[in-house]
Every structure is written in C-alpha cells, then in structure tokens.
Amino acid sequence: MKERYPKRTMGTLAIAMLLQVGSTSLSHTVSAGQTEQVAKQSRHQAEQTTASAKELTQSSSQKSTKESMKEATKESAKESKKSTQAKSATEKSSETAQSSKAAGETTAADWRNPSEDKPYPVLQAEDWIDVSLADQRVKIMRKDQVLYTMICSTGSGGDRGTPTGTYSIQGERGETFFNASSGEGANYWVSWKDHGVYLFHSVPIDASGKYIEKEAEELGQKANSHGCIRLTVADAKWFYEQALYGMKVVVH
C-alpha cells in the first residue's frame, strides 16, 4: 500500500513552491530594476562627459580665437609701425631735399643718359620745341601734348644769355666743335639761331675732347652756358640725328 503525504504536508509544500516562484520573480524584477538604474546612470555619465567635452572644445576654440585675434592685432601694430617709420623716413628725406634746395645745394645730374626712362618720340612735321629758361627744360611738343622732356642748361645771363623768342631748326649741324676763345666745345650740335651761333649741343668738352664734369653735373639745375642750350650726351645725340629742319623753337 502506497504512502500518501498528509494534507498538511501537501499544503506546506505548495506554499513553499509559491514562495520560491515569488522569490525568483522578485529577484528578476529587482535585477531588471538595477539594470535599468545602472543604464540610466551610464546615460547620465555619458551626457555629462559629452557636455564636458563640448565645454572643453568651446573653451579651446575661444582660446584659439582669442590668441589668433591677439596675434593679428600684434601683427597689425607691427605693420602700422613699419608704415609709420617708412612715412617718417620719406618725409625726412623730402625735408632734407627741400632744405638742401633752400641752401643752394644740388644733386649731380645724370648727364650721360636720356632724361626720361622711355623711348624717344618719332617726330612729325607739326612737332615743335619748347625751351623754358625758368625750368631749365626742353620739351618736345605735339600741339599741346608733351612727348618728351629733357633737362638742359641755358645761358648764364648778360652777354652770355639765351635769346627768347620764336625760332626754327636751321641747316647747320655737326658731331663736334671746339671754341678756342672760350676754351670749350661740345658734341652733337644743331643750330637754331644765327646759323651756327646759337646751338643745341651736349654738355661741354675741353680741348682734349673730355667732358667737363663739373659743369655737366649742373645740367638742369643751373643756367651756366655761353648762350647755347646744353643737353645730356644721349639727348644731344638723338636731337642731332632726329631734329627736323624747320622745326619751330620757342624760347621763353
């Protein structure tokens, strides 16, 4: 005959099984709750880390921008200082030049080369020549347009003055001459008055044919000729080769 559990025992067993199931369910519930709490904390920490990184990036960017602006300001100040110094040097140089001019000092002329850093003009029949005694300049003109400006030296005055008025290029011209009475000559001469008396020519030469540099260096700054119109060596050569017969010459 089989043994049977007493009813009480069966009831106790049932209660125990229910308690075990409830415990397991509660364990799972607690475990799930803990997992969710941990996940929530992890998300919070991640958000804090992201916020910290963002703040750090913004701070770094602001610092970098500030440093860049500071460096740009410093560079701008440096360039401004250089510009001011350059301007000061230019003004000082200008003041020195004006002071020298006021004191009667002159700078040696470049009497060997062309007066301007550009090609000489190709002359036309209507072109004419303007000679300014006040400016010590010869201008090659086309109507009212200045084609080329040359530095010059005209007569020193009195019986060595350059006559004013309207004249023209004459037929006489030559490569060189020497005047024994004055002890001077010149190269590349072209007559414009009295057929060989008043000339355009180079800076003066001595009896040996050498240029008299002391007088040549005053070209364009001082009227120091015997009445002729002195030009640089290059300008005089071009004038000798290109001046048209009959060109109008106005001296004023």
Residues recognised as catalytic: 201, 228
Question: Residue 222 CB: number of other CB atoms within 10 A?
Answer: 15
List the structure tokens of 4. Answer: 């049977």
Q: Are strands 165-168 and 145-151 parallel, antiparallel or unpaired?
A: unpaired
CA distances from residue 230 to 66, 94, 151, 204, 211 in whole angstroms, order as listed: 66, 28, 9, 8, 12
CA distances from residue 152 to 44, 174, 219 in whole angstroms, order as listed: 93, 19, 6
**Residue 192 φ then ψ, to 5°:** -130, -5
List the structure tokens of 196. Answer: 């060989």
